[in-house]
Structure 1
Amino acid sequence: MLFAVICADKPAHLNLRMETRPTHLEWLNGLNAAGTLKIGGPFLDADGKPCGSMLLIAADDMEGAKAIAAQDPYAKAGLFANVEIKPYNWVFNNPEA
């Protein structure tokens, strides 16, 4: 099952994001290699700077998706003001369909 993980950064935390980014990318590379990560990237503010994240991940159920999201180095560092996880149905342009 697919889940969208939608994260909003805390205001004025760009430095924390940039400091944590190498560890975050390493974690994402692991998810990608395992086939868990389908899509990922940052949301951008009006100035084009990252201000949140969106991941599309595969998990068995909501609890599994929450467990994966909790391992994000950004989440562990306290970057996010909030995280929303929603079941997702990838209908168009899904390369696995």
Structure 2
Amino acid sequence: MLFALQCTDKSGALQLRLDTRPDHVAYLNDLNAKGILKMAGPFLGDDGKPTGSLVIVKTETIDDARAIAEADPYAKAGLFSNVEIKAFNWVFNNPEA
């Protein structure tokens, strides 16, 4: 099952995001190598700077998706003000469809 992790950065946390990014990218690369990560990228503000993240993962349960979200270096660093996890149905342009 697919889950969307919708993560909102805390206000004024851009430097924390930049400082933590290498560990975050390594974490996502590991998820990708395991076939868990389906897509990911930042939300952007009007100024073009990141304001959050969208991460789509394939897991058995929402609890597994929650564990992935909690283990993300961004989450561990306290970057996010909010994380929503929702079941996701990838209908259009799904390479696995």
The TM-score with structure 2 as length reference comes to 0.99
Percentage of matched positions with identical amino acids: 61
Runs of 4+ off more than 4 Å: none
Distance 1:35 1:96 in 2: 12
Gaps of 5+ in 2: none
Distance 2:46 2:91 in 1: 29
* Aligned-residue CA RMSD (Å): 0.4
How many residues were matched structurally? 97
Q: What is the aligned partner in structure 2 of residue 51 from structure 1?
A: 51
Are positions 1:68 and 2:75 aligned together? Answer: no
1:6 deviation in Å? 0.2
Q: What is the aligned partner in structure 2 of residue 39 from structure 1?
A: 39
1:4 deviation in Å? 0.3
1:21 deviation in Å? 0.2
SS of the residue corresponding to residue 30 of structure 2 reads helix
Are positions 1:29 and 2:34 aligned together? Answer: no
The TM-score with structure 1 as length reference comes to 0.99
